[in-house]
Amino acid sequence: MAATQKQAFATVNVRSSFSKSFPARGLQKGLLQDYILQDLKVPQSYEVRLTPVTIFGPGDSATRIIRYSQPVSYPNPSDNTCRFEDEKICGFVQDRMDNFDWTRQNAVTQNPKRSANTGPSRDLSETAEGYYMFIEASRPRVQGDKARLISPLYNITAKSPSYKTSYCISFYYHMYGKHIGSLNLLVRVRNIGTMDTQVWTLSGNKGNMWRQANVPINPSGPFQIIFEGVRGSGYEGDIAIDDVTVKKGDCPRKLDSTNKAVAPPGSGASRFSSTAACGPLTLVLYVLFR
């Protein structure tokens, strides 16, 4: 197949496999390429093979197995809130490119020798069984280390990059300790590759209580949110999050909506609410029924 060919379509034994060719244009480092496969059938599994073809001929192929699984709604379909009660943590995943991971725990599973004067003792519900996610600031962590927690993909039905939909990201955070670093919220829009945009940040000791943040965003396509915890200057710097909600529409307009706090019982605190690719490139997609 000539590298200059704009588009080609070929079918090979359609009962067991098929092959399609499509042009790749405007390639840049980190730019996500999308191609929709409309010939796959549920509940079958497939082997997908992607081969780049340049003016020098075909390159190395990348192969992946696609297995069908029953669809799961994330977060909780009843109220769109993730409370991290399940081990699958609502489809959130740890970033493999950061320095360390977020930890899921509750009052029962937490280390009895954990650092004092930092971190929550319980989750937002104040029950011993309730889970939350947190970053541990003790050794071997050093100042500036980052832990990133990435959400599943939201707004997956968005079609036009120019059409923006309003969403409100609501969550509770706990930032207690004299060495607290920073908590950042970033948004990754799928149609602009892996570029992450910071939409909210907070640093320093905010007291021994859960506080709520409401962050408005207007993504131009399918998106993910990323919670980034940054370790501060010492071990008394644990940061936690709980009850994450991603909801379509505007955020509440109450003046205290970003400062709603829940203090633990007995605390005495009040409770209130780029490098461009050279030369033409064609990608060949081969799908094999398994």
Domains and CATH numbers, the chain: 8-69+281-289 (no CATH), 81-262 (2.60.120.200)
How many alpha carbons lie under 13 Å from residue 235 in its C-beta half-sphere? Answer: 6
Contacts 24+ apart (CB under 8 A), 14-17: 15/289, 16/288, 16/289, 17/286, 17/287, 17/288, 17/289
SS (H, E, C) 46-91: EEEEEEEEECCEECCCEEEEECCCCCCCCCCCCCCEECCCCCCHHH
Rounded to whole angstroms, the Cα distance separating 282 from 266 reads 65
Cβ contact 169:215 at 8 Å: yes
Indicate if the alpha-carbon torsion angle 84, 211, 167, 222 is positive or negative.
Answer: negative
pLDDT value of position 64: 81
Closest C-alpha among 218, 93, 214, 72 to residue 155: 218
Cβ contact 287:48 at 8 Å: yes
pLDDT value of position 155: 82
pLDDT tens digits for range 16-38: 577 777 777 667 776 666 677 66
Rounded to whole angstroms, the Cα distance separating 210 from 242 reads 9
Closest C-alpha among 189, 184, 186, 185 to residue 164: 189
Residues comprising the chain, all counted: 290
102 SS3 class: coil
Q: Give the DSSP H/E element, type plus range, for residue 238.
A: none
pLDDT by position in tens, the chain (length 290): 344 333 333 333 334 577 777 777 667 776 666 677 666 666 677 788 888 888 888 888 888 887 765 544 444 445 689 999 999 999 999 999 999 999 999 999 988 878 889 999 999 999 999 999 999 999 999 999 999 999 999 887 766 555 688 999 999 999 999 999 999 999 998 776 667 999 999 999 999 999 999 999 999 888 999 999 999 999 999 999 999 999 999 998 864 444 456 666 555 454 433 333 445 555 555 556 55
| Residues forming a β-bridge with 244 | 82
pLDDT tens digits for range 260-269: 566 665 554 5
